[in-house]
Amino acid sequence: MAGRGRIRAADIALVRERSKIDEIVGEHLQLKRAGGGSLKGLCPFHDEKSPSFQVTPSRGLWHCFGCGMGGDVISFIQQIDHLSFSESVELLAGRANVELKYEDDGGRPTGAPDRANVGQRARLVAANTAAAAFFVEQLGTPDAAPARQFLAERGFDRQVAVDFGCGFAPGGWDALTRHLRGLGFTQAELVTGGLAKESSRGSLIDRFHRRLVWPIRDITGDVIGFGARKLMDDDPGPKYLNTPETPLYKKSTVLYGIERAKRDIAKRHQAVVVEGYTDVMACHLAGVTTAVASCGTAFGGEHISVLRRLLMDQDEFRGEVVYTFDGDAAGQAAAMKTFAEDQRFVGQTFVAVEPNGHDPCELRQEHGDAAVRDLVARRTPLIEFVLKTTLAGYDLDTVEGRVAALEKTAPLLAQVKDHALRPAYARRLAGMLGLPDETEVVDRVRRLTGEGSGERPRQRPRPVQRTPDDAAVAVEREAVKAALQVPEIAGPSFDAVPAEAYTDPDYAAVAAAVAAAGGAAGATVTGAAWLEAVAEHCPLESARAQLTALAVEPLRSVGENDVAYVNALMARMQEIYTVRQIAVVKGRLQRMNPVEAADDYMKAFKQLMDLEQLAISLRKRATGGLTP
């Protein structure tokens, strides 16, 4: 800064000595004992999953073995806060109560009225802090009635407003500017600090007018900017205005509530990401003390890094990040975006979705503190939410729907970078799709990622609708044989099984042709005439070609009792079909939320119970006839 002398070397040494490096660094990331008197944590300067950032308090040094950065407490502040060397020394001096003297200014101490001696960062923090106090004061004025009403309507009383430092930016053009100029802040400081801007006439005007304001603090608790909400209908600005990018305020890393939440985020290994200032307030008041929100920008990669450094536990990242999203389309889109961007930690990423689209603030107003805590407690893994959201667009009760849904969801699983997690997700997806096992899903994902399998030979791709169950296909063959050979016995029980219950396309076509010809029970002719009637209704060439063989090949009945055999056969056929239906309903249940869709859930559950019951009785009938 112009006109400022160099800080005396002795003072710099004193600042270094009095600033505990583990405390200063510990404000930005979670440090754990690493043996030999060192501490380690996740490096704030590069993205990493296991800690290679080490601090040695006895020597006052830090070093990252991942990216190679390192230094002392001053260089840490320089890097993390993007400050110059002297600004960093000044910041640390302020905290350690060290009075700095400058070499060519006659040794005037800081804190004295001479502004030139004070570093820019400290000045900007001071200006923002003074502005916050001014706004708080204004909240009591008559003009601020709409702001007080806004807070009261959302269940925030006066004490809460004080606690969170809520304030009011008054009308007029330059109330704050004049106030801060009166306190000795320069025009340049007000502009650089994001508190005022130059009007077209060259004079300074306040950045915020007639708005409810929240002070935004950095992780150490310094006020670095504001969020301001529109209150008046004739306010032409957007709903929310924020401090612009300044040397203090970097929106890509700023998190509202971080100074309040950081201790519990580290302690509980959980961070809750909400969307607005009132949501952060509601969460903290409701006991969800790990809530933060990004300010005036989407929650992004750098925000996540800030949280991860606090969540680091022992040797790895184990904490969870819970996003609250509206249940609406926008919220789902946000979740999908998060999924697409945040792959490495997908296993530790959760979503808490309020089915009625309430945000935490509305939820607290309508249903109280416990409802907010419940919302977070009911979180689901992000991957599951994304799969469910995607599957919602398909009719999974049809084969075509399931095939299309697998086509769409397999690429999502293929995106999951943590390979160890994929099998479990594949199993989960198979369950949701109502597939008998995860093989189809695993194969599909493997093909998409181009990975071979070391453990077993690569399987030949096969269509999803055909589960290769030789036993089932054999039963199908026997069933259509019976329908062609002894329609009078196969009769109603054959007709009760729909053609789509057959996994073999040829047998399915034969079953459909039998139905089209009037059904086995309705067969008025037998032998060749019946076969001809069925053939007429069978458009599938390959199936038609087999008709004679099927009509001729002896049934595998044990002994001479065709009636008992055919009845058991049909029961077995129905059982297989029922078991498949059970998988479909189970999949549907897994995709449902028992709380949100209680009625549908109970209906499906009842259906499942009925099907299970039916399967049991069919199994008895089938084994009774098929086992000698």
In sequence order, the 6+-apart residues with CB closer than 8 A to the CB of 194 are: 207, 225, 243, 244, 245, 246, 248, 249
Least separation in angstroms between residue 252's CB and Zn ion is: 18
Least separation in angstroms between residue 314's CB and Zn ion is: 18
Least separation in angstroms between residue 133's CB and Zn ion is: 38
Measured from the CB atom, the residue of 62 and 226 that comes closer to Zn ion is 62
Measured from the CB atom, the residue of 7 and 43 that comes closer to Zn ion is 43
Measured from the CB atom, the residue of 46 and 378 that comes closer to Zn ion is 46
Measured from the CB atom, the residue of 219 and 538 that comes closer to Zn ion is 219
Least separation in angstroms between residue 78's CB and Zn ion is: 15
Measured from the CB atom, the residue of 52 and 439 that comes closer to Zn ion is 52
Measured from the CB atom, the residue of 41 and 257 that comes closer to Zn ion is 41
- Give the interface with Zn ion as residue ranges (CB under 5 A): 43, 45-46, 64, 66-67
In sequence order, the 6+-apart residues with CB closer than 8 A to the CB of 558 are: 565, 626, 628
Q: What are the two backbone dihedrals, phi and then psi, of residue 176, each rounded to the nearest 5 degrees? A: -70, -45
Least separation in angstroms between residue 79's CB and Zn ion is: 10
Measured from the CB atom, the residue of 67 and 421 that comes closer to Zn ion is 67
Q: What are the two backbone dihedrals, phi and then psi, of residue 39, each rounded to the nearest 5 degrees? A: -125, 155
Measured from the CB atom, the residue of 41 and 276 that comes closer to Zn ion is 41
Least separation in angstroms between residue 230's CB and Zn ion is: 41
**Residues 479, 483, 485, CA angle at the centre, nearest 5°?**
110
In angstroms, the CA 279 to CA 213 distance is 15
Tokens of residue 137, six digits: 């004061």
Q: What are the two backbone dihedrals, phi and then psi, of residue 164, each rounded to the nearest 5 degrees? A: -95, 0
List, as own/partner pairs, every contact residues 524-532 make where C-beta atoms lie below 8 angstroms and the sequence separation is at least 24, other chains included: 526/487, 526/488, 530/484, 530/487, 531/484
In sequence order, the 6+-apart residues with CB closer than 8 A to the CB of 121 are: 81, 83, 87, 90, 91, 247, 248
Least separation in angstroms between residue 62's CB and Zn ion is: 10
In angstroms, the CA 488 to CA 524 distance is 9
Least separation in angstroms between residue 309's CB and Zn ion is: 11
Least separation in angstroms between residue 64's CB and Zn ion is: 3
**SS3 readout for 56-124:** ECCCCEEEECCCCCEEEHHHHHHHHHCCCHHHHHHHHHHHHCCCCCECCCCCCCCCCCCHHHCCHHHHH
Which helix (H) or strand (E) element contains residue 323? Answer: strand 320-326
Measured from the CB atom, the residue of 66 and 146 that comes closer to Zn ion is 66
Residue 496, amino acid? A
